[in-house]
Amino acid sequence: MKIKIINVISNQDRLNLIRTFCDDDLENEVENILKNILENGSYELKSMIKLFDLMDNSSNTENDLQISYTIGNRTIEVINTCEQLQEAMNTIQLAPFIGFDSEQKPTFKKGQADNGICLIQLATQSKCYLIQNKQIKNLKPLIDFLEDEKIIKIGTGLKGDNEALFRQFNIRAKSMIDLEDIFKKLSSKNQIGAKKAASIILNEKLQKSKNMSRSNWENEELTSGQIKYATEDATVVYDVMSEILKQYPFVMKMMPMFFQERYFEE
């Protein structure tokens, strides 16, 4: 019977036993053999190992040498009228996927009901839309967008967003992909949100201000700080997903089938 060594030792408990019962020379020998395999392996294998290493060491990747994340050359559109919303929804449907996030006016008293979503951020390669939904009377174009299974929305930590959308609009958004779930499928040992994802995938530092996150998102006119914070939250997930597919194409095989079909259509 032919023994597959990788199956024999690809178990953390067994690797620990090897370290316990074998001398340092043997462990170093195994390490050198694996390094040799990697050096002579395929591009796909090397990219997989690189991504696994980045995820495992995500707590150590962010440093002062990383440049600050920016939205790049995108234009920002603040949407607060029915006409603006309809035009934006007509345009955004052409993108292969959309970066998604939402904001609520915070509550500060225990047991106080939440204030509901008042800002929805949608990002494409060239634009970011900030939709002040509480200022718009007819939200049907937005609801249709959220319920359209052909339009893929990508965010991070989407459980709260989805629950809020259901409570507020009685809808279940379709074709939503959570970056945190993608990293879990890739066997990440750490929880990787937007900030860590920007660090390990883009090698950039996403600035997250707690004061800004707790600001009044129901302001009729958003401040420059709020606009910066809100746009970056949506664009960073778009940019991370784009870079993952570019640098680590094997990840595509782990994406939901509806994503693969839609992506290759484009």
Other C-beta atoms closer than 10 Å to the C-beta of 232 total 24
Q: Taking 60 as the threshold, does the pLDDT of residue 3 lie above it?
A: no
pLDDT band at 232 (very low <50, low <70, confident <90, very high): very high
Helix, strand, coil percent values for the chain (each to nearest 5) = 55, 15, 35
Percent over 90 (pLDDT), the chain: 56
Q: What is the pLDDT of residue 183?
A: 92
| Structure token digits, residue 235 | 């664009």
Please tell me which residue, 146 or 26, carries the higher pLDDT value.
146
Q: What is the pLDDT of residue 101?
A: 97
Residue with tokens 């993108």: 95
Q: Is 226 exposed, middle or buried (0-12, 13-18, 19+ CB in 10 A)?
A: buried
Residue type (1 letter), 85: L
Residue type (1 letter), 177: I
Average pLDDT score over residue span 146-167? 94
Q: Where is average pLDDT lowest: 9-18, 43-52, 159-168, 211-220?
A: 9-18
Q: What are phi and psi of 10, to 5 degrees?
A: -85, 55
Q: Where is average pLDDT lowest: 36-40, 84-88, 147-151, 211-215?
A: 36-40
Strands 117-123 and 153-155: unpaired
Q: Taking 90 as the threshold, does the pLDDT of residue 187 lie above it?
A: no
Strands 127-131 and 75-79: parallel
pTM (2 d.p.): 0.86
Q: What is the pLDDT of residue 70?
A: 96
Please tell me which residue, 4 or 181, carries the higher pLDDT value.
181
Average pLDDT score over residue span 124-146? 96
